[in-house]
Structure 1
Amino acid sequence: MTVCLLLLSVVALTAAVPVPRALTRAVWPEREPVIGLWAWQCLVATVLLCCLTALVLGTAAVFHTVRDRVFAPAPPSVAAAYDLSTAPAWAAALTLLLACGAAWTTAMLARELVEARRRRGQTRAHLRERAPELPAGLGAATRGPLLVLEDEYPDAWWMPGNPPQLVVTTGALHRLTDHQLDAVLAHERDHARAHHDWLLHLSTALATGFPRIPLFAHFCDQTHRLVELAADDTASRRCGHLTTALALIELNQHRGVLSCASSHRLLGERVNRLLEPRPRLGRPRRIIATATAALVPLVPLLILFGPGLTALA
């Protein structure tokens, strides 16, 4: 059970306050939001992988049948290296706790997906009611991925689903210039291309299921922030920083985007970031950051397979 305790120690160190807070306060994710998202995903994947592997080892220690199946392909020396034949008294309680955590995580993910599907269905039904009537003989398929709604307020959003659909109001069409509209469309299409909705569902489910774990709370907050910054970068590279910033202002001015007291402070941050763009990290630093983040989930795998590989050596 020593390996199991090492895995849980990695969970404690990673999910504690200092690690997620340090990544939250770092400046470089704002300059490279895509790599920032990758770093958060790798950090969360490390914690989940540690818990999963600890659950497997704990189950193997408590149940002989599971242990025989897990170590069936390996020689006896490998099974002996993990010292699972004599499980301590607390092993069953720890395994039960990890199993409950895995079941709760699965339940939270399932609930988030079901709720998202229900909300998406309600939104689609509402949009069908608000959408203008088509002439006789034209089916719904002729609408294509772009749906224009009659609304004086400028707005645009991408609604995931099958098929995905981009919704734009007539207020946005009247207020935005052609280049600004292109920037808005590029922003929303980047959300769809990168499947940001799945990442948002994952972060929300973990933060809801484990509200007292700082890592998951910061992961949720930073995911909602960084996906917008990443989509802004895509739009600005295609249409220009100033055009994208003006499009954001036009779309959200009625929401108080420039007000410090507004609940949409992220919008103000995005506008300021576009108006005063900071240079991207150099290619070597981007490669190093990406590779370093990718190496973090290997830690639980090294801990897990370390005794077995040592026994085989």
Structure 2
Amino acid sequence: MTALLSLLLLGFLLSTVAPGRLARARWAEREPVLALCVWQCLVVAVLLCCLLSLLLAGAAALPELRTLVFSGAPHGVEAAYGLAGREGWGRLVAGLLAAGGLWTAYSLTREVLAARALRGRRQAQLDHRAPEIPPQLKTRRKSAGRRGGDRERLVVLEDASPEAWSLPGPGARLVVTTQALRQLTDGELAAVLSHERGHVRARHHWLAQCAEALAAGFPGVAMFTAFRDQVGELIELAADDRAARLHGRLTTAHALVELNSGRGVFGPCPSPLSSTRAPQLTAQAPRRVDRLLAGEPRLPVDHRLRLTLAALAAPTTALLLAAAPGLTALLRLG
């Protein structure tokens, strides 16, 4: 049972200690893509601990499953895990973990279906409201999309508010209002579209949906709440960086200010039609502008490499803990 207890302890430590330290890390704003990778590795490691614990607990509770799991293993490997005679403990742990797994699957399915239905309604509204792209915009559209192709459909929406956003999924759309076209220069428009195109092409909506599903399904787990909040911030920073690399930090910052002029506080261009971003991100835009204007350099390559290896170490450790008794038994036999 050592492997089972070790996995449960590792999952507990990763879900309680690591999220707070990661959320306070100052380097995350300088490397939002890497920070997203670290968060995903952390969540995967915790889920992997639960899944492997469920497998071992189920093997302890059900002799038939234990025989199936260790079928083909050399003599002594099964005994190294110490699962025999632990049926009562195994049933308790397996029952709790199985219930959590089913609830996670239900939460993810519910979130995906709800998001898909919402995107369908908003796309239908856009089809009803959006006019054809005027001829004078085609030159600007070509300029804004000349880097990296133009796979997404650009939609112009008649509106008195300067806004721009994206609708991800099949037939992704980049939406810009007529007032935004009046206020933005060609360079600023290109930066805005690059920002939204970054969301679409990086599949940020998938990550946001998974984070929202985990946070909604397990509201008492601080790690999943922190994961959702951090993902909401980091995907905006990552998209800002993409636009800044292509069109400059100053131009991107000016575009962000222009899109939020007259609102009293900068925001991520929310729209009743199509924004899927959390309302609390509205207050984040001043920090995004300051960050763009500050232009802090990226972390050194060796620092990024160390962080990447540390992130990958979390799920790797879970796998090693699960395999450790069997590997030790094989070494002894050898």
Shorter-chain-normalised TM-score: which range? over 0.9
Aligned to 2:299: 281
Q: Please identify, of 156-165 and 28-37, the stretch whose mean Cα deviation from structure 2 is larger.
A: 156-165
Q: 1:134 to 1:235 in 2, by over 3 A?
A: closer
Which one of the candidate residues 165, 189, 202 is aligned to 1:194? Answer: 202
Distance, in Å, in 2 between the alignment partners of 1:50 and 1:144 is 39
Structure 1: which 5+ residue stretches go unaligned?
Answer: 136-142
Distance, in Å, in 1 between the alignment partners of 2:64 and 2:204 is 41
Counting only pairs closer than 5 Å after superposition, residues 143-182 of structure 1 correspond to structure 2 as 145-182=153-190
Deviation digits for residues 234-275 of structure 1, max 9, x if unmatched? Answer: 11111111100010011112333359xx97211111111111
Check conservation: 2:35, 2:234, Cα contact below 8 A.
Answer: yes
Aligned to 1:294: 312
Distance, in Å, in 2 between the alignment partners of 1:191 and 1:221 is 16
Q: 1:39 to 1:263 in 2, by over 3 A?
A: closer
Q: Please identify, of 79-88 and 49-58, the stretch whose mean Cα deviation from structure 2 is larger.
A: 79-88
Deviation at 1:29, TM superposition (A): 0.5
Which one of the candidate residues 194, 208, 215 is aligned to 1:207? Answer: 215
Q: 1:248 to 1:54 in 2, by over 3 A?
A: same
Deviation at 1:303, TM superposition (A): 0.3
Aligned to 1:10: 10
Counting only pairs closer than 5 Å after superposition, residues 97-176 of structure 1 correspond to structure 2 as 97-132=96-131, 145-176=153-184
Check conservation: 2:192, 2:243, Cα contact below 8 A.
Answer: yes
Q: Secondary structure at the match of 1:255?
A: coil
Aligned to 1:245: 253
- Give 2:231's aligned amino acid: T
Distance, in Å, in 2 between the alignment partners of 1:258 and 1:202 is 27
- Give 2:30's aligned amino acid: R
Once superposed, what is the RMSD of the aligned Cα atoms? 1.8
Deviation digits for residues 201-240 of structure 1, max 9, x if unmatched? Answer: 0110001111111111110000000000011011111111
Q: 1:62 to 1:263 in 2, by over 3 A?
A: closer
Aligned to 2:242: 234
Q: 1:133 to 1:36 in 2, by over 3 A?
A: closer
Aligned to 2:321: 303
Q: Secondary structure at the match of 1:100?
A: helix
Aligned to 2:142: none
Deviation at 1:154, TM superposition (A): 1.1
Distance, in Å, in 1 between the alignment partners of 2:161 and 2:204 is 25
Distance, in Å, in 2 between the alignment partners of 1:144 and 1:38 is 25
TM-score by length of 2: 0.87
- Give 1:268's aligned amino acid: P
Check conservation: 2:152, 2:171, Cα contact below 8 A.
Answer: no
Residue 254 in structure 1 maps to residue 272 in structure 2? no
Distance, in Å, in 2 between the alignment partners of 1:198 and 1:263 is 18
Q: 1:124 to 1:2 in 2, by over 3 A?
A: same
Which one of the candidate residues 280, 284, 292 is aligned to 1:266? Answer: 284
- Give 1:229's aligned amino acid: L
Deviation digits for residues 271-304 of structure 1, max 9, x if unmatched? Answer: 1111112111011111111122112110110100
Distance, in Å, in 1 between the alignment partners of 2:113 and 2:65 is 32
Check conservation: 1:147, 1:168, Cα contact below 8 A.
Answer: yes
- Give 1:86's aligned amino acid: G
Check conservation: 1:81, 1:307, Cα contact below 8 A.
Answer: yes
TM-score by length of 1: 0.93
Check conservation: 2:161, 2:179, Cα contact below 8 A.
Answer: yes
Aligned to 1:41: 40
Identity %: 49
Q: Secondary structure at the match of 2:76?
A: helix
Distance, in Å, in 2 between the alignment partners of 1:147 and 1:258 is 23
Deviation at 1:76, TM superposition (A): 2.5
Check conservation: 1:113, 1:201, Cα contact below 8 A.
Answer: yes
Q: Please identify, of 219-228 and 164-173, the stretch whose mean Cα deviation from structure 2 is larger.
A: 164-173
Distance, in Å, in 2 between the alignment partners of 1:134 and 1:281 is 42
Check conservation: 1:256, 1:264, Cα contact below 8 A.
Answer: no
Check conservation: 2:133, 2:156, Cα contact below 8 A.
Answer: no
